Structure 1
Amino acid sequence: MKKLRILNLEDNPNDSDLIQELLEDGGIECEITRVETGEEFISACDKSGFDIILSDYSLPSFDGLSALKIANEKCSDIPFIFVSGKMGEDIAVESLKNGAVDYILKSNFKRLAASVKRALKDAELRTTRRQAEKALQESEERYRMLFENSMDAIILSVPDGKILATNPETCRMLRYNENELRDLYRNDVVDVTDPRLIPALEERSRTGKFKGELSLIRKDRTMFPCEISSVIFHDSDGAERVSMIIRDITERKQKEESQRKFINGMVHAMVLAVEARDPYTAGHQRRVAQLAAAIAKEMDLPALKIEGIERAAAIHDIGKISVPADLLSKPTVLSEIEYQMVQIHPEEGYKIFKEIEFPWPIALIILQHHERLDGSGYPNRLRGDEILTETLVVSVADVVEAISSHRPYRPAYGINFAMDEISKNRGILYDPDAVDACLKLFNKKGFKFQ
């Protein structure tokens, strides 16, 4: 444990020695630097490094109150205690008012150790409090800087939606000034007809946070799409507050729509190209896409995944462009070599799409659509979790449509035969959830191919 460093303003060296002895008897190891004059005291304060100042009140060439004033100016964090042989009550009160933490009469030295310990503890608490206040101030300044300069809109409100504060980006985005926004509620700027709003509020109420997309309304009543992160929190007074960080995603949505139109056009062209070469499977991919999307919805998969399943299913046989047309329309059963030639179509389809960037794993779904849970499929004999969820859905739809429809080498077996096939191989070849959803669609919801 390091020794306590004491600056002692004292003209009597014997009293300094006595102070050290009393403190060490009280369990305080210390080093005392004794000074007698104002010049020495100022020099010592400038050097700093002391933990406490013990000062006589009256010295031949200096006085304690002057020393206290200097200490307050140069080292106000250091506790200052008067240790004097004689000190009137009025002077003692004045010294305490001016910043001294205690006064000890030399006739009552036994109080010294306890007074020093208390002064040091109080000083530590003051330092900790100042550091916390400084950290809080810096944190508030950082928050204010982030709040004011954020490129996202930020709204602070109470739980019922009354807006308390907004940053400049909110004003720019919604086209209100700050005072106007403070007179509004959340429902004045959020599209209350958006079907996503109620689930969003329920999620935030249940979990304390929400992140998703909603439509907002500008002052001129035009609506625009936004990505919103909202959190419930408590302020320094314990009051419940709500924050909303808002990003305008109009440009992103426009790009997505443009990309979607491009993809739809490309998919349609591909479908026509395949079906032109294989008239016996005309409409097969379209019907598989219809059923696959319905199965995915019945399984309650996310909307984006459902869209990807529908797109991939619509072109899952694109690789048949690389298969000789006479094999695709051959009216008899294929030979082993001919069948192997047809089996290249998943890999050929993968090659066509693997370099194209989609929001969904289109190329992999095409590659895997003949894989089976037990590893008996092709081309890579994948098993179980190695196969994408999207592929598992497309595979069931593909099998059902293929079995129930006419082929060059056989008549249509019908829906009942198809239902028997997926039922008996549920969990063996085909995903159980996808099979259950498909059976429910046909047996209970009256699904029909269009």
Structure 2
Amino acid sequence: MKEIKPPNKKLETLPRSKEIYNALLASSWDATLGMNREGSIVFWNKGAEQIFGYSTDEILGQPVTKLMPEKHKEGHTKVLNAFLSGNYGAAGTIEFEALRKDGSTFPVELSLSIWQQNGKFVGLAIGRDIAERKQMEQALRESAERYCNLFANSLEAIFSADIEDDVLAGNEALEKLCGYCLEGLTEMKPTNILPPESREYISKQVEKILSADEPISSIVHEIFSKDGKRILIEQYLNFIKRKGTIAGFQESYRDIAERNKTAEQLKSSLINLTKIVSRVIEFCDPYTAGHQQRVAELARLVGDNMGLADHIVERLYFNGLLHDIGKISIPTSILTKPGELAEEEWALIRAHTKQGYNILKDANLPWPVADAALQHHERLDGSGYPDGITGDKLSLEVSILALCDVVEAMSSHRPYRPARTTRDILKELKDGRGTKYNVSVVDVMLPMIESGEFKSVWNRRNSRSTATEGLYT
């Protein structure tokens, strides 16, 4: 078998290293210049032409001081002479202001080195225009200064911790809030500033924030100040991550006791205003005076007994106060008419739901009162009005309000009929359970009616010291 030989390739002769080096210097985008011991320029590349504006023919043989602004020439010359004399060693880096051919100046970074070969001295300088870098550095410094000023002068208490670098920072507002200096806070155990009942809650909230990976989340809780006083705060927590690992955190704290007090005062004023509107409506219909108030109180009680959240219970009460606001559009003669109503008169009464919706739909209130006014006569089986809404299209809050409206209306005297008995009311709820009325609501209301609890709420209303007036006025 014939031996296979690799193809015979003619090796190319590589240029010598000196030639490669000279070619790199000549083509570099950085300014490269060579100087003799006297400081005259003996080498000048294309990069130097671009940066300084001088051609090679113009600059060769010229003193390097030609590239120095007059105001810095003396200082720069001393540094350069010291380097060329070997006092700075064989290599080094300096920054100084340089002068272009057009007279403009710019910051330059020079890497200097000294060569001596065959007794011949060459000082080599590689320069780079660092104006853009200097601008960025200045912008970063200014940004850092602004951040520090914001941090220090913020009215909100701020605490920052860098775990990796073990750097802690806090501002004056933090010290003012809790009474401790920063050093005291950093040395303190969390248990010294957190009430016992808050510790587990805060721990769970922090775990929740971490698991949800939310950038900024708030926690409302109390802390102890240095003098032992409890302070209600809103805490914003932001974890700092580097390469997927928590490297630190930033926190801001705000004393919200005064804000909460103001909010409660505003809410109280709104409730009182709503009660006034409710009473104005009832002046049009003396037979149903107090109806909206009683429905509101009953809805609040049902919400409490169902274990609903406080804000939902509050919403039920408010919706109850305004659910019949549309009756203001019904003639008093119809509202107070004794005996049976004609069909067209019933049509006017039924229209109060849409009229109420039209009155409330554009109100900028924190509760959906317009929907409650529109739907409080709807039923699960579609037999209600005005739209015959069925099933799960009716919210739990509307279902509660609707049943409270039925119970209160049946319990009260009307011009066209006497008040119904407790037996009648119980029968209505049991017959309508799961068909007209929400099962959960009926199951809560039945024992309230059987025990008389719902009427006791209305009886307590006559006293200014009732729990309802205390909570919502």
Asked if residue 167 in structure 1 is aligned to residue 171 in structure 2, the reply is yes
Structure 2 gaps, min length 5: 1-14, 53-62, 65-79, 97-106, 129-133, 211-215, 457-473
Q: Is the 8 A contact 2:30 2:48 kept in 1?
A: no
Q: 2:366 aligns with which of 354, 359, 372?
A: 359
Q: What is the alpha-carbon distance in structure 2 between the residues aligned to residue 131 and residue 440 of structure 1? A: 73
Q: Is the 8 A contact 1:399 1:418 kept in 2?
A: no
Asked if residue 439 in structure 1 is aligned to residue 450 in structure 2, the reply is no
Aligned to 2:234: 227
In structure 2, give the amino acid aligned to 1:423.
G
1:373 deviates by: 6.9
In structure 1, give the amino acid aligned to 2:417.
Y
SS in 2 for 1:226: strand
Q: 2:266 aligns with which of 259, 264, 287?
A: 259
In structure 2, give the amino acid aligned to 1:324.
P
Deviations 1:409-428 (A, max 9, x none): 363531342243241146xx
Aligned to 1:154: 158
Moved more, 77-86 or 325-334: 77-86
Q: What is the alpha-carbon distance in structure 2 between the residues aligned to residue 338 and residue 237 of structure 1? A: 70
SS in 1 for 2:417: coil
Q: Is the 8 A contact 1:210 1:229 kept in 2?
A: yes
Aligned to 2:417: 409
SS in 2 for 1:424: coil
Q: How does 1:137-148 map to 2 (within 5 A)?
A: 143-148=147-152
Q: 1:66 aligns with which of 76, 84, 95?
A: 84
Q: What is the alpha-carbon distance in structure 2 between the residues aligned to residue 32 and residue 359 of structure 1? A: 68
Q: Is the 8 A contact 1:295 1:437 kept in 2?
A: no
SS in 2 for 1:414: helix
1:184 deviates by: 3.9
Q: What is the alpha-carbon distance in structure 2 between the residues aligned to residue 39 and residue 176 of structure 1? A: 65
Q: How does 1:286-305 map to 2 (within 5 A)?
A: 286-297=293-304, 302-305=309-312
Asked if residue 424 in structure 1 is aligned to residue 425 in structure 2, the reply is no
When normalised by structure 2's length, the TM-score is: 0.59
Q: What is the alpha-carbon distance in structure 1 between the residues aligned to residue 266 and residue 156 of structure 2? A: 25
Moved more, 132-141 or 272-281: 132-141
Q: Is the 8 A contact 1:171 1:177 kept in 2?
A: yes
SS in 1 for 2:300: helix
Structure 1 gaps, min length 5: 1-13, 51-60, 102-122, 124-129, 427-434
Q: What is the alpha-carbon distance in structure 1 between the residues aligned to residue 398 and residue 445 of structure 2? A: 20
Kindly tell me: are residues 442 and 154 of structure 1, through their superposed partners in 2, closer, same or farther at Cα, counting changes over 3 Å? same
Q: What is the alpha-carbon distance in structure 2 between the residues aligned to residue 180 and residue 21 of structure 1? A: 64
1:389 deviates by: 6.5
SS in 2 for 1:438: helix
1:338 deviates by: 0.5
Q: What is the alpha-carbon distance in structure 1 between the residues aligned to residue 170 and residue 434 of structure 2? A: 58
Moved more, 278-287 or 378-387: 378-387
Deviations 1:169-197 (A, max 9, x none): 12233344444444544454455556xx6
Deviations 1:79-105 (A, max 9, x none): 677787569xxx9xxx9xxx999xxxx
When normalised by structure 1's length, the TM-score is: 0.61
Deviations 1:120-169 (A, max 9, x none): xxx9xxxxxx999999988765653432232211235799xxx9643111
Aligned to 2:468: none
Q: What is the alpha-carbon distance in structure 1 between the residues aligned to residue 93 and residue 40 of structure 2? A: 13
1:248 deviates by: 2.5
Moved more, 405-414 or 308-317: 405-414
Aligned to 2:208: 206
RMSD: 5.6
1:383 deviates by: 7.7
Asked if residue 269 in structure 1 is aligned to residue 276 in structure 2, the reply is yes
Moved more, 417-426 or 402-411: 402-411
Q: How does 1:8-407 map to 2 (within 5 A)?
A: 18-19=19-20, 35=34, 37=36, 38-40=39-41, 66=84, 72-73=94-95, 143-156=147-160, 165-192=169-196, 198-208=200-210, 210-233=217-240, 243-275=250-282, 277-278=284-285, 280-297=287-304, 302-350=309-357, 357-371=364-378, 378-379=385-386, 390-402=397-409, 407=414
Q: What is the alpha-carbon distance in structure 2 between the residues aligned to residue 437 and residue 82 of structure 1? A: 93
SS in 1 for 2:401: helix
Q: What is the alpha-carbon distance in structure 1 between the residues aligned to residue 305 and residue 219 of structure 2? A: 23
